[in-house]
Amino acid sequence: MNTPLNTLFLDLEENQKRQFIDAETVFLAAAKAKKDAAEVRGGMFWRDLRGKSTLIRTTAHGAQKSLGHRSAETEAIYTSFMARKEAYEERLKALKAQLTIQQRLNRALRVGRVPNVVVGVINALESMGVQEHFLVVGTHALYAYETAAGVRITEAAMATRDEDMLLDTRKRIAFFTTMKKLDSSLVGVLRKVDRSFEVATDQLYTARNKDGFEVDIIRRTQKDTDPHPLRMSEDHNDLWAVQVSMGEKLQSARRMDQVVVATSGEMALMRTIHPIDFARIKQSLSQQTGRNPNKSGKDALQSHIVTALVNEYLPHLL
């Protein structure tokens, strides 16, 4: 397949590239500030207990813990905590304001083209603390690769109405522990993005919204102590993860994290697999016996495109 590069990729304009760099910098700084601020959520105060002034640490959920009677050590703990809390919260507030500006500029300069619902889903998983358990592994991973390269990939390779999310079953206990604490279902998380998401009755691994956009939850084939079947929460109406032939290879692939931009200007950190591994797996899929010809053709095209993209724009990843 010797398709000319100028028919596969379109370079972003220089002002778009500069804007993305600025926006990415602010986004990552805001993410770091959010993480720092989370460490000092809740508060500290002094309380009289049995006639002695005692330092109390409170969590964001209202739980309290005694840190000891007033002393030089607890005074230092209190002073340090309050100073960090004020500094972190002020920094996060300032960066959130900058992030809003950057998102507007992204939209004005048409920096992003990731579907808004895709970025919304990633950010919803992030806000609930479960994004680390999923990888974007289907066609939408190409948005991460093209963003890293500063180009647009041909539309023929990008067209899809479903987002494939691979659950890492090796860390399933941590995932289900978090879901139980949240007292939520995975489809409930998706409804924070679009209230119309429903589990498809014809395939229980798919959540579909009113516009026909689908989120598919996939997993490796059962291995070791993996449970099967696997529902995503204790909610009987929740999504189930479906086994896929390439699940083990996808789960074992190298990782790539890339900030991506929606058409709205909103940003998200997409976690996906290394583009070289993506190309290799797609090539293997295209040659799989019994593969739908329409899908195998697209698999081969995407493998070719991503390989060419890395060779031309991302040689440091080779």
Q: What average pLDDT score do residues 280-295 get?
A: 92
pLDDT over 70 for what percent of the chain? 98
Is the pLDDT at 273 greater than 90, yes or no?
Answer: yes
Is the pLDDT at 294 greater than 90, yes or no?
Answer: no
State both tokens at 317.
Answer: 């990843």
Q: What average pLDDT score do residues 62-72 get?
A: 93
Spell out the residues 6+ positions from residue 259 whose beta carbon is closer than 8 angstroms to its own: 23, 24, 27, 28, 147, 267, 268, 269, 270
Q: Are 99 and 26 in contact (CB under 8 A)?
A: yes
| Predicted pLDDT at 7 | 82
How far apart are alpha carbons 191 and 211 in whole angstroms?
Answer: 14
Q: Which of 183, 215, 178, 184 is nearest to 199 (CA)?
A: 215
Is the pLDDT at 191 greater than 90, yes or no?
Answer: yes
| Predicted pLDDT at 224 | 87
| Buried/exposed code over 79-110 (b: 16+ C-beta within 10 A; e: otherwise) | eebeeebeebeebbeebeebbeebbebbbebe
| Predicted pLDDT at 4 | 67
Is the pLDDT at 311 greater than 80, yes or no?
Answer: yes
DSSP state of 223: -
- Read off φ and ψ for residue 311, nearest 5 degrees: -60, -40
| Predicted pLDDT at 290 | 87
Q: Are 242 and 218 in contact (CB under 8 A)?
A: yes
State both tokens at 233.
Answer: 């929460």
| Predicted pLDDT at 3 | 65
| Predicted pLDDT at 1 | 57
- Read off φ and ψ for residue 183, nearest 5 degrees: 50, 50
Is the pLDDT at 5 greater than 70, yes or no?
Answer: no
In this structure, of 15-19, 147-151, 156-160, the range with the lowest mean pLDDT score is 156-160
Q: What average pLDDT score do residues 287-301 get?
A: 91
pLDDT tens per residue, range 89-141: 999 999 999 999 999 999 999 999 999 999 999 999 999 999 999 999 999 99
| Predicted pLDDT at 269 | 98
pLDDT over 90 for what percent of the chain? 89
Question: Residue 163 carries which side chain, given as an amino acid letter?
Answer: E
List the chain domain ranges: 9-111, 112-317
Q: Are 199 and 207 in contact (CB under 8 A)?
A: yes
How far apart are alpha carbons 169 and 241 in whole angstroms?
Answer: 10
How far apart are alpha carbons 260 and 8 in whole angstroms?
Answer: 20
| Predicted pLDDT at 61 | 79
Which residue in this structure is represented by tokens 């993410």? 31
pLDDT tens per residue, range 23-66: 999 999 999 999 999 989 999 999 999 899 999 999 887 889 99
Q: What average pLDDT score do residues 238-254 get?
A: 96
Report the chain's mean pLDDT, rounded to a whole number: 95
Rounded to 5°, angle at Cα 88 from 83 and 93: 130
Is the pLDDT at 241 greater than 90, yes or no?
Answer: yes
| Predicted pLDDT at 81 | 94
- Could you tell me which CATH number the domain at 112-317 has? 3.30.460
Question: Residue 34 carries which side chain, given as an amino acid letter?
Answer: K
Tell me the sheet residues that pair with 240: 231
